Amino acid sequence: MENLLLLFAGTVLVNNFVLARFLGVCPYLGVSRQVDTAFGMGMATTFVMVIASVVTFLIYHLLLVPFGLEYLEIVAFILVISSLVQIVELFLQKMSPTMYRAMGIFLPLITTNCAIMGLALLIVQEGYNFVEALVFALGAGVGFTLAIVLIAGIREHLEIADIPHSLRGGAITLIIAGLMALAFSGLAGLV
């Protein structure tokens, strides 16, 4: 139990997916203009991460390993993740229209989010068992949500700030991200 708590805290704060591992940087820079949308994106990503980690874990250990097909890992994972996103989208549309309205538009974007694929590959690389994989996925999702909501909050204030022309847009966002990463690296001694 203690191990799992450490793993969770470590994944959220110390090895934050966006700020320390550079996974999921595209949505982090692209969908972080407003806190509301950033939160929606974070929730949708967390949701898909947890499901994807379960499905890819089962596929890897029940299908690829017994048949000696580990070299198909990349092809299998990316196919599973992209079809999974579509299924989740259809399912939400039918079962929970309110949730669909909140997350729907973000789901297609998640297919090319390298955080999901990276998560699946890291679980294999680190040799996590099923429970650890679940906790790791949840931590990754919460960490991603935390980072994207924080930067969206800062960017909302930047809208009214007087920034030099050439720094506007991507440049200033990257510099803020750097400062956030710096702040988060202060938590390194935590775990």
Of 20 and 49, nearer to another protein (C-beta) is 20
C-alpha span between 39 and 51 (Å, rounded) = 19
Of 5 and 188, nearer to another protein (C-beta) is 188
C-alpha span between 183 and 151 (Å, rounded) = 12
Of 5 and 179, nearer to another protein (C-beta) is 179
Of 29 and 134, nearer to another protein (C-beta) is 29
Residues that bind another protein in the complex, under the rule CB under 8 A: 19-26, 29-30, 71-75, 78-79, 82-83, 112-114, 117-118, 121-122, 125, 164-175, 177-179, 181-182, 185
**Residues in CB range of 37: below 8 A, 6 or more apart:** 31, 106, 152
Q: Provide the H-helix boundaries in the chain.
A: 2-9, 25-30, 35-59, 73-95, 97-103, 107-110, 114-126, 130-158, 170-185
The closest of 9, 17, 2 to 191, measured between CA atoms, is: 9
60-63's contacts with Cβ under 8 Å and 24+ in sequence apart are 60/124
In the complex, the smallest distance separating the C-beta of residue 174 from another protein, rounded to whole angstroms, is: 3
In the complex, the smallest distance separating the C-beta of residue 52 from another protein, rounded to whole angstroms, is: 12
In the complex, the smallest distance separating the C-beta of residue 96 from another protein, rounded to whole angstroms, is: 25
In the complex, the smallest distance separating the C-beta of residue 26 from another protein, rounded to whole angstroms, is: 6
Of 30 and 97, nearer to another protein (C-beta) is 30
In the complex, the smallest distance separating the C-beta of residue 180 from another protein, rounded to whole angstroms, is: 8
DSSP state of 27: H
